Amino acid sequence: MIIVLAPTARSQTQEASLSDRVFTWLQFQAIPSITILSSTSATQTGFEWEATPLLYSFGMTRLVSPWKSFIVEPPARFTGSIEFVVSGQILTEKVGNSYFGGSAQLLGHIPLIERGEHLGLTVGIGSYSFSQSTPFFKVVGISTLFGFLHFNLKQSASPKLWVGSIEFRFF
């Protein structure tokens, strides 16, 4: 009987643990990143919420799956990874005819100091959607504090736009 009950108890514990992780993840997603959008005509500030639908980590141990979706532990990101990120923005002033924007980005994270725990480099490309315009951006940034804090700078040549962001990445 002990053999039969042990897997059932473990399965219920794993299900409870997964629901706790999802609940915690949802709470942290409510914390926005700070964004500054600068164009030739004006500079706006705003807030950005990000999610990672897909991440491949090449720096983690081979004992766990390198593929992550939405709930991404920081070490999977900062030890070396490629991720697809989607985000939504709310700006404090209108850009064109809207306060809202969105983006999709493909980012690579390269560890620099202490396997990325202390300093990492982010490079990538992205497309932002603001006021019926979808310019392509080049992305460069750094991450620190065990991958929780990111400073990213995104630049578009046509139209000439700069987006700077301070991102808090808990998952």
pLDDT at 171: 63
Q: How far apart are CA 37 and CA 161, in angstroms?
A: 7
Residue the block writes with tokens 């301070």? 166
Q: How far apart are CA 125 and CA 106, in angstroms?
A: 6
pLDDT at 10: 45
CB 133 within 8 A of CB 127: no
The reported pTM is 0.76
pLDDT at 15: 54
Question: Of 145, 162, 168, which Cα lies nearest the Cα of 49?
Answer: 168
> Confidence band (pLDDT; 50, 70, 90) for 76?
confident
pLDDT at 9: 46
**Which tens digits make up the pLDDT trace of 8-32?**
444 445 555 777 777 777 777 788 8
Q: Is the dihedral of CA 111, 116, 118, 120 positive or negative?
A: positive
Copy the structure tokens of residue 71.
């709930």
pLDDT at 13: 52
Q: How far apart are CA 68 and CA 52, in angstroms?
A: 8
Q: For residues 160-166, give the mean pLDDT.
A: 87
CB 131 within 8 A of CB 95: yes
Average pLDDT, the chain: 82
- What lies within 8 Å, CB to CB, of 112 at 6+ separation is 118, 119, 120, 121
Q: How far apart are CA 111 and CA 151, in angstroms?
A: 15
